[in-house]
A and B are shown apart, each in its own frame.
Chain A
């Protein structure tokens, strides 16, 4: 939701939402206090970080490594904790 406010007249009957997955416009990344940082040299491309991410924000890149989409990453640290090769470190978020 970027600024504009909807009134009740803008809603569909029965409060039906007609656009599937519209919540993906919402930036959950600014909840984050720690960000995941990767050292891809150690990565064995197993995909464990991808399967355990509750935000579904980890994707494969062209080389087969995985990367977190920081627009959605809430910084829970599950990927860093579960990574078998310690590729991912959580570092404190600093103000930009």
Chain B
């Protein structure tokens, strides 16, 4: 990083405005609640959030209470993309007809990994293809946690879930994690990024960039889930950091098709360090871990090539 690019990373200078109120019912040590808090800090007050079914919706809006201090609407699993593009189009039409004054309101879709990479992918794909001006945040906790840890297409290879059980003939999840950010990149949208609440400044920065860019933006946020990952709740931040440092979840952004690594490590940590802290990987044998290690390195090299980093 050049000298002039240096920024201040001082937690106490971050806004104290909490648009996501305390008193939500997220599990103890929830990485997703933390990610939502950071995203809301970056978004500010002038925003309409469309939220798919999932953990966030469940723990933030137990009727008759709500944790949101901004405009928020709950939709179904499958149609966040459709609802957020509808709201954006309706806003534009009403401004054009002179019914409401033009404001700086922003449109944001929130969904989990199931709502994004499995059930809601068609609506999201449509919204990105039509070029609506919105930001989509996928909070990836790598399974359907709110219904009881069922596998999704975002679950990593070898992870235990209740629907990918471990036994004599199964190592848990048998497929590799779907690369959702790449699918977003394939839509040729102006902004795609990956982020993690263990790197809060990077996350807030990316959300701000995504919301300011005209056109669709997609931010994929790894959210550690102590309940589903079978790890102690105080490791939420450390595991997010390890996921980045091992290369399992590299942080990067793609601005108008140009890749840029947010953090580059000369040497990746072994994936074992990340996996041994989680109960969902405890059954894995050495050869499976080596297979995962090889795959992670291969993917990381591909990414580095795209970003033009040697």
**A21 touching B29 in the complex, CB below 8 Å, given contacts A54-B236, A76-B233:** no
Q: Is B101 an interface residue (CB 8 A)?
A: no
Task: Choose among A51, A75, A81 the residue that contacts B28 (Cβ–Cβ < 8 A).
Answer: A75
**A72 touching B22 in the complex, CB below 8 Å, given contacts A22-B64, A25-B65, A54-B30:** yes
Q: Which residues of A contact B67 (CB under 8 A)?
A: 21, 23-24
8 Å CB interface, A12-61 against B: 15, 17, 19-28, 31, 45-48, 50-57, 59-60
A26 near B64: Cβ-Cβ < 8 Å: no
Q: Is A78 an interface residue (CB 8 A)?
A: yes
Size band of the B side of the interface?
35 or more
Q: Which residues of B contact A26 (CB under 8 A)?
A: 23, 25, 65
Inter-chain CA distance A96–B54, complex, in Å, is: 36
Cβ proximity bits B1-35 to A, threshold 8 Å, 1 near / 0 not: 00000000011101010101111111011110110
Nearest 5 pairs between A and B by C-beta?
A47-B11, A77-B234, A76-B29, A21-B21, A47-B12
Inter-chain CA distance A69–B70, complex, in Å, is: 23
Inter-chain CA distance A33–B127, complex, in Å, is: 45
Inter-chain CA distance A90–B11, complex, in Å, is: 22
Inter-chain CA distance A78–B65, complex, in Å, is: 26
**A76 touching B23 in the complex, CB below 8 Å, given contacts A17-B65, A20-B68, A56-B37:** no
Q: Which residues of A contact B25 (CB under 8 A)?
A: 23, 26, 28
15 A–B pairs (Cβ distance < 8 Å), ordered by A? A17-B63, A20-B66, A21-B68, A22-B65, A23-B23, A23-B62, A31-B28, A50-B14, A52-B200, A54-B34, A74-B29, A75-B28, A76-B226, A76-B234, A81-B234
B contact residues vs A (CB 8 Å cutoff): 10-12, 14, 16, 18, 20-26, 28-31, 33-34, 37, 60-70, 197, 200, 226, 232-238
8 Å CB interface, A56-96 against B: 56-57, 59-60, 64, 69, 72, 74-78, 80-82, 90
Number of A positions contacting B (CB below 8 A): 43
A54 near B21: Cβ-Cβ < 8 Å: no
**Apart from A17-B64, A23-B21, A69-B22, 6 more pairs, CB < 8 Å:** A26-B23, A47-B10, A50-B12, A76-B29, A77-B232, A90-B234
A46 near B11: Cβ-Cβ < 8 Å: yes
Among residues of A, the one whose C-beta sits closest to the C-beta of B25 is A28
Chain A binding site: helix, strand, loop or mixed by DSSP? loop
Among residues of A, the one whose C-beta sits closest to the C-beta of B66 is A17
Among residues of B, the one whose C-beta sits closest to the C-beta of A52 is B237
Q: Which residues of B contact A11 (CB under 8 A)?
A: 63-64
**A1 touching B234 in the complex, CB below 8 Å, given contacts A23-B24, A50-B11, A51-B14:** no
Q: Which residues of B contact A10 (CB under 8 A)?
A: 64
A54 near B23: Cβ-Cβ < 8 Å: no
Q: Which residues of B contact A25 (CB under 8 A)?
A: 23, 65
Inter-chain CA distance A91–B108, complex, in Å, is: 40
A24 near B236: Cβ-Cβ < 8 Å: no
Inter-chain CA distance A81–B238, complex, in Å, is: 9
Q: Which residues of B contact A21 (CB under 8 A)?
A: 21, 66-69
Task: Choose among A15, A20, A57, A82 the residue that contacts B69 (Cβ–Cβ < 8 A).
Answer: A20
B23 near A15: Cβ-Cβ < 8 Å: no
B22 near A78: Cβ-Cβ < 8 Å: no
Q: Which residues of A contact B24 (CB under 8 A)?
A: 23, 28, 55
Task: Choose among B20, B68, B232, B237 the residue that contacts A82 (Cβ–Cβ < 8 A).
Answer: B237
Q: Which residues of A contact B26 (CB under 8 A)?
A: 54
Residue from B11, B12, B25, B28 with most neighbouring chain A CB atoms (10 Å)? B28
